[in-house]
Every structure is written in structure tokens, then in C-alpha cells.
Amino acid sequence: MKDSICSLKSKVSSIKGIGPQKAAKLKKMEIVTIEDLLSRFPRDYEDRRCLKKIAELVDGEIALLRCRVDLIVKNNYRYGKQRTLRLLASDGSGTIEVLFFNAAYLESTIIKNGIYCFFGKISKNDGRIQIIHPDMTKWEDNRSTGIMPLYNLTLGISQNDMRKWIRSALDLLSCCSDYLPQDTLSRNCLCDIEYALTNIHFPKDLQRLKEAKYRLIFEELLVLQTGLLIMRSRLTESGNGIGFSEKISIDPFIHSLPYKLTKAQERVLEDIIKDMEALKVMNRLIQGDVGSGKTVLSAAAIYKAIRSGYQAVMMAPTELLAKQHFETMTEGFKAFDFKVGYLTSSISGIARRELLKSLENGEINLLIGTHALIQPTVCFKKLGLVITDEQHRFGVAQRLLLTKKGSNPDILIMTATPIPRTLAIILYGDLDISILNELPPGRKAIITKVMDQRLRTAAYAHLEEEIKKGRQAYIVAPLIEDSDQLESKSATALYDELKEKFQSMRLALLHGELKQQEKDAIMARFHSGEIDALISTVVIEVGINVPNATCMLIENAERFGLAQLHQLRGRVGRAEHQSTCFLITDSKTSLARQRTQIMQETNDGFIIAEKDLDLRGPGEFFGTKQHGIPELKIANLIKHIKILNSVKIEAQMILNLDPNLTREENAGFKEHIAKMFEKVSEFTL
């Protein structure tokens, strides 16, 4: 038995047909061991269960044939510039002409009178039957028909290579033991691993494929969930949290605000304060659409923590947002004499050392920053409250590490993205959710207009008018590719063009490649109204709050996802002025049209999130990478949410019996968890 486990762990090169070159190519696909190869699941399948006779073929159909090659004609005529290889093949019912283009590599391998399997599209013309560039392999009785897997490939590796190698790998499985505990399999009616792997690659029928899929999805989610639970139990101390005193009232802070809280804000704040006063550790998620006023709620919680003698920390996903929070909080707490610190990776040297010192001796009451806050050198004297803003961009491990800097501090998470409860629990642990479903009074719905390039002048005219009225604007530069550099280039070009066009306007350019100080300086000038219009890349996407900005123009709107468009648009309409958002696009694709249509119809982030899910499919919406959880091969956190419920119960059951997975029967399972998490976190099992 040991031997066969060993061979799953051995290098792919031990499979016949995988030499050093192919092995190198597989390595690029992150396939190193036989086990890696087997866990490369098909992206789709081809139904080759039904063998056709040449005499029965219909024009245009996709068919599987078993034929003898009667004649090989090499390069006998040219099709344009392409060399052709022509075969005549027969199956007793008729003869078919097989054509290949540029297929010199085939010439030497085809044997006259050999029996082959052809799969491809049939064309029939005046009694002449052809199959053009079909998939062709040597006929093998038990391998040529069936449901065939289709894999994602890389250059130099064909479907037939993958199929052949995976079949050889499957042969090694026969006596290997399952790495899921036997009880887990029977409790959840899961098939064993040999059955699952055999049928995910070469299913005998659709029912078996379904069983195989279910087992593998369950397994993957179980590995994920168990890993997260272990990680959480390692990083969160057990025992009581902090019970902040009921005697410390937040009224002085609330009275210092220039506005009255909305009903929704009052309700959510009540939840927060109740949690803080209870001895239980607060773990609360605040979901509120863009502009609903989440920041002030975190400030109230911070006020309570500091007044109770604790420190607080607030983490934001971008430096711009962290800086903005720093400024808002500094201003808001001026009357209370709180000391607010700001830390990002661009703060270094003496400034950094001093800051860390006064954090450790308790002089700093509130520290605001980016993920730089997680570094081990950041130590608090008495951390009582951890807040993360736009949380969905942080990884599970990052958030937990921040929490570990205190002794069971309360946790508040703020997000504008609605998340289904089951998923939220996976991502954040057992948590409570408050929903902020009301915008501050006097806000006018943002008007959204979709325009093609020709109408851009109308959008510009509106922008100029707004600026004449004293308002400000954002112009979001086209998204070119997933590359910061290209984006900054396109923003720069747009900036140069607009500088020519709007000579009397005060414009500025903002992109991710600028130094942090430059970005901060530009944002400060935009905040104070010294800049009329900001030409920017998506760096302004989240959280930025300049209430005087009323006009937004998004170039190449078709390249943005719905959630992103909604976040971008949320930068305007943050005060009583009427705001407008122009989506400039020439795209006529139906996806682009549907998206811009939805943006025109609604300003409701919750509806938009739902539609986004419909249009993009669940995988992309909650991109797992964005959450910092491992990439999944077969499971999908939204689509398989029902399975997730059973998985949660099973994971808990396994850990109740064996909290650290030290038992022999859990060894293989533990190994799988370690492997899944090795890339995304520093945590080791």
C-alpha cells in the first residue's frame, strides 16, 4: 500500500511518454507529480459514446468513426499555402476522405491498413464524404469510445497526450487508500477516491460523473473549511472578550457631528455598542451601500474603545483610502484630544520607528493604515478594537493576524459588497451581520447616462458646466489590461489631451505608479477644491469621499465589471447636489449593453450585486483570490453553497474528534489541507 502512495507522489516523468521536454511543459502548468496530473480535472467533456457507420453519416454532424486507412496521399495538392495530407479510409459501409492541413508530424506515424479512430465534423458534397482535420488516434477497443475529457492545455501538449498520461496515472490508483476519513465518506454518502478520479476523467456514464463530481467538490470544500477552522482556532484565543463599560457614553461624539444619524445608522450603532459592552468577542459585519455612511459608525466604536482606555486599529485596502480615513478621524477626534497614527509601507526610517514606539507605549490611541499594519514589528499596548474597511479585499489570514495583536479584541468589518450569509461565515467565521439600508437624507439619485464616443462632447459640456458651478469631477481613464503600467499610460495620454481641451480648468493626473506622497498631495488638493477634475485610473475605486464631486465620466465602460462600475460611480452623489455619471462605450456586445443598462436603471448596490452574479457567474464575482483564500479547482463557493452547509457540519465533526489532525487516519487529509493553503498564508498546520 505504501508503494502505491509513493508512486502518486512520484514525478510525472515516471509515466511512459513523458520525457524531460513534456515534463518541463507540465511543470509550467504546475503539474509535477502524478497526483498533480490526476487533480487536473477536465474543463469539459465530449460525448463519443456512439460509433457511426460511414454510410449513415449526415452533412454537418460531429461523428466518431472506426476506420482502416486504405491510402495515404502526402502533400498531393495545396490548399492556399497549406500543405495537406489526404487519407482514404473505410469501415465496411463506405469510404471517407480524411484531410489534414500542415500535419507533417502525422505523416510518419500513420500506418497503411492500420485501424484508427476519427472524431470530427462531417461534410458531404455530391456523394463525396469528407472529414476535415479530425481528432485521430489508434483504435483501442476499450479506450476509443466513451465520454472523453477535454483539458485546459498548454502549447506542446495535446488532448491526446493528457488523456493517455491520465489513463496511465489512473492505473496506479488501484490500491491507494483514500485520504478522507472512512467515516466522512459514509456519513456523507461519498464515493471513494479511486472511483471519483476514474470517473471525473473517464466517466462511464453521466450518473457516475455526477457522483465523482460531488465527492471531489465536497472534498475540496471540506479541505478549505477545515483549514480555515484550524487557522482560526490557532489565531483566535479562546476565552472572554472585552466588556467595554456601559458607563462610557458615545453621546459626546455623536453630538459633535455636523449632522444627525439616519435611522439605519442609529440601529446599526446600537448593535455595535451592545456587542462591545458584552463580554463576548464582537465579530460584526456591516453591509452598507456606497455612501451610506459607514465610516462614522466605525468612528463611534473607536470613540468608545479609546474612552475606555483601549487602542483601536483600522485597516483599509489602499493607501489613498487609509490616508483619507486618517484625515477624517484626525479631524473628527480633534475636540477629544485623541492621538491618531498613520502607517503604510511607504513610511520608513525614523518616522516609522517613532510611530511604532509611541504605539507600543500607548501614546497613540488609534492607528490607521494598509496591510502594513500586520507586520510583526507593529505592537500595541492595549488593543481593544479592530476595524477593517472594504474588508472583502483582505485575506482571512491577514485579518486574523491583525486581531492577534490584541488579546481578544472586538472586530468590526465594513463592506459595500453584499455577501450571502453562508459565504460570509466561511470568510469571516461565525459572525453577525448588520445592514445599513438607508442613505443620508437629501441625497439625489445619481443620473447615469450611457454614451458612445461621438456623444462624448455632450458629456464634456456637462462636466464643464458643473465645474463652473463650483463642483468637481472624476474622469476615469480606460482600462487597458490587467497591468498598472498600461493603465497609467492611458491615463497620461488622456490627461494630455484634456489639458489641451480644457485650458481654463485645473486638472490633475492620478495613477498607481505615482509615489505615495505625490498621490496624497493630489488627493489633498482635490479634497480642498484646488483641483477641478481628476483624471484617474481605478485607484480611486474604493472608499474615496469628496462630497463636492458631482460628475463622473468613465471611459471604456465596457471593460469594467458591474460591481466595479457601481463602486466607481459611488464616488459621486455623496452630498445633496445632483450628480451625473457618464459611461462612455462603443461596445455593442450584449454583455456590455446589459451591464450599462442595469447601471442606468438602478443605483441600488444590492440589486447590482445580484445582477452581477447572474451576468458574470458566481466564480468571478467572488473571485476567491480577492478574498485571499486558496484557488479552488472544482468547487464554487456560490454554486455549491448547499454542499457547503453539509461540509461545515462535517469539518466541525472531524475537528471535534481530532482538533489538530494528529491521528493516523487523518494524515492524508491534513496533508491536503497544508497543500491547499501553502500559497496563500504563512500559517502552517
Q: Is 290 in the site for ligand ADP (CB under 6 A)?
A: yes
Residue 293 touches which member of ligand ADP, Mg ion, none, C-beta under 5-8 Å by kind: ligand ADP
Residue nearest to Mg ion (CB): 543
Q: Is 336 in the site for ligand ADP (CB under 6 A)?
A: no
**Which is nearer to Mg ion, 178 or 541 (by Cβ)?**
541
Going by C-beta distance under 8 Å and a sequence separation of 6 or more, which residues neighbour residue 496? none
Residue 547 touches which member of Mg ion, ligand ADP, none, C-beta under 5-8 Å by kind: ligand ADP
**Which is nearer to ligand ADP, 241 or 291 (by Cβ)?**
291
Report the site for Mg ion in 485-544 (rule: CB under 5 A): 543
Q: Is 396 in the site for ligand ADP (CB under 6 A)?
A: no
In the chain, the amino acid numbered 570 is G
- Of 52, 213, 294, 648, the one binding ligand ADP by CB under 6 A: 294
Going by C-beta distance under 8 Å and a sequence separation of 6 or more, which residues neighbour residue 26? 12, 18, 32, 37, 157
- Of 134, 149, 241, 291, the one binding ligand ADP by CB under 6 A: 291
Backbone angles phi, psi at 179, to 5 degrees: -90, -5
Residue 292 touches which member of Mg ion, ligand ADP, none, C-beta under 5-8 Å by kind: ligand ADP
Options 97-105, 137-145, 294-302, 480-488: segment touching ligand ADP (CB under 6 A): 294-302
**Which is nearer to Mg ion, 384 or 543 (by Cβ)?**
543
Which triple of cell numbers denotes residue 639?
A: 454554486
Q: Is 295 in the site for ligand ADP (CB under 6 A)?
A: yes
Q: Is 265 in the site for ligand ADP (CB under 6 A)?
A: yes
Write the interaction track for ligand ADP spanning residues 574-593; mark x where CB under 6 A is met and - where it is not: x-------------------
Edge to edge, what strands does the sheet with 472-476 contain? 447-451, 580-584, 549-554, 472-476, 533-536, 507-510
* Least gap, CB of 574 to ligand ADP (angstroms): 5
Residue 296 touches which member of ligand ADP, Mg ion, none, C-beta under 5-8 Å by kind: ligand ADP
Residue 284 touches which member of Mg ion, ligand ADP, none, C-beta under 5-8 Å by kind: none
* Least gap, CB of 470 to ligand ADP (angstroms): 17
Q: Is 529 in the site for ligand ADP (CB under 6 A)?
A: no
Distance CA 438, CA 227 (A): 37
**Which is nearer to ligand ADP, 389 or 464 (by Cβ)?**
389
CB 396 within 8 Å of CB 628 = yes
Going by C-beta distance under 8 Å and a sequence separation of 6 or more, which residues neighbour residue 522? 508, 509, 510, 514, 531, 534
Q: Is 418 in the site for ligand ADP (CB under 6 A)?
A: no
In the chain, the amino acid numbered 475 is I
Distance CA 616, CA 623 (A): 11
Residue nearest to ligand ADP (CB): 293
Characterize the bridge pairing of strands 507-510 and 533-536: parallel
- Of 283, 408, 545, 550, the one binding ligand ADP by CB under 6 A: 545
Secondary structure of residue 103 in the 3-state scheme: coil
Tell me, by CB under 6 A, how many residues bind ligand ADP.
16
* Least gap, CB of 476 to ligand ADP (angstroms): 17
Tracing cell 492545455 back to the chain, one arrives at 153
Distance CA 653, CA 669 (A): 14
Which own/partner contact pairs does 666-671 have at CB distance under 8 Å and 24+ positions apart? Answer: 666/181, 668/177, 668/178, 668/179, 668/180, 669/179, 669/180, 669/181, 669/223, 669/226, 671/179
Write the interaction track for Mg ion spanning residues 534-563; mark x where CB under 5 A is met and - where it is not: ---------x--------------------
Tracing cell 479511486 back to the chain, one arrives at 194
* Least gap, CB of 119 to ligand ADP (angstroms): 55
* Least gap, CB of 302 to ligand ADP (angstroms): 13
* Least gap, CB of 319 to ligand ADP (angstroms): 17
In the chain, the amino acid numbered 261 is L
Distance CA 554, CA 228 (A): 39
In the chain, the amino acid numbered 450 is V
Q: Is 291 in the site for Mg ion (CB under 5 A)?
A: no
Q: Is 292 in the site for ligand ADP (CB under 6 A)?
A: yes
Characterize the bridge pairing of strands 311-315 and 383-389: parallel
**For the residues of 143-160, what is the DSSP string, one character each?**
TSSEEEEE----TT--HH
CB 260 within 8 Å of CB 290 = no
**Which is nearer to ligand ADP, 63 or 534 (by Cβ)?**
534
**Which is nearer to ligand ADP, 39 or 262 (by Cβ)?**
262
Distance CA 371, CA 411 (A): 16
Q: Is 288 in the site for ligand ADP (CB under 6 A)?
A: yes
Options 218-226, 255-263, 271-279, 552-560: segment touching ligand ADP (CB under 6 A): 255-263
Q: Is 346 left (phi over 0), alpha (psi -120 to 50) or beta?
A: alpha
CA atoms in the 13 A half-sphere facing the CB of 487: 20
**Which is nearer to ligand ADP, 157 or 414 (by Cβ)?**
414
Secondary structure of residue 599 in the 3-state scheme: helix
Residue 409 touches which member of ligand ADP, Mg ion, none, C-beta under 5-8 Å by kind: none
Q: Is 603 in the site for ligand ADP (CB under 6 A)?
A: no
Q: Is 332 in the site for Mg ion (CB under 5 A)?
A: no
417 Cα distance to chain centroid: 13
* Least gap, CB of 435 to Mg ion (angstroms): 15
Q: Is 266 in the site for ligand ADP (CB under 6 A)?
A: no
Distance CA 552, CA 554 (A): 6
In the chain, the amino acid numbered 468 is K
Q: Is 564 in the site for ligand ADP (CB under 6 A)?
A: no
Secondary structure of residue 501 in the 3-state scheme: helix
* Least gap, CB of 285 to ligand ADP (angstroms): 13
In the chain, the amino acid numbered 142 is N
Residue 265 touches which member of Mg ion, ligand ADP, none, C-beta under 5-8 Å by kind: ligand ADP
Q: Is 318 in the site for ligand ADP (CB under 6 A)?
A: no
- Of 134, 332, 369, 440, the one binding ligand ADP by CB under 6 A: 440
* Least gap, CB of 445 to Mg ion (angstroms): 19
**For the residues of 259-298, what is the DSSP string, one character each?**
SPPPHHHHHHHHHHHHHHHSSSPPEEEEEE-TTS--HHHH
* Least gap, CB of 583 to ligand ADP (angstroms): 20
* Least gap, CB of 539 to Mg ion (angstroms): 15
Q: Is 149 in the site for ligand ADP (CB under 6 A)?
A: no
Question: Dihedral sign, CA of 418, 579, 594, 536?
Answer: negative
In the chain, the amino acid numbered 167 is R
Q: Is 261 in the site for ligand ADP (CB under 6 A)?
A: yes
C-alpha pair distances (Å), 304 with each of 240, 316, 573: 19, 20, 30
Residue 261 touches which member of Mg ion, ligand ADP, none, C-beta under 5-8 Å by kind: ligand ADP
Q: Is 184 in the site for ligand ADP (CB under 6 A)?
A: no
3-class secondary structure per residue, 405-428: CCCCCEEEEEECCCCCHHHHHHHH
* Least gap, CB of 318 to ligand ADP (angstroms): 13
Residue ranges binding Mg ion (CB under 5 A) = 543
Residue ranges binding ligand ADP (CB under 6 A) = 259, 261-262, 265, 288, 290-296, 440, 545, 547, 574
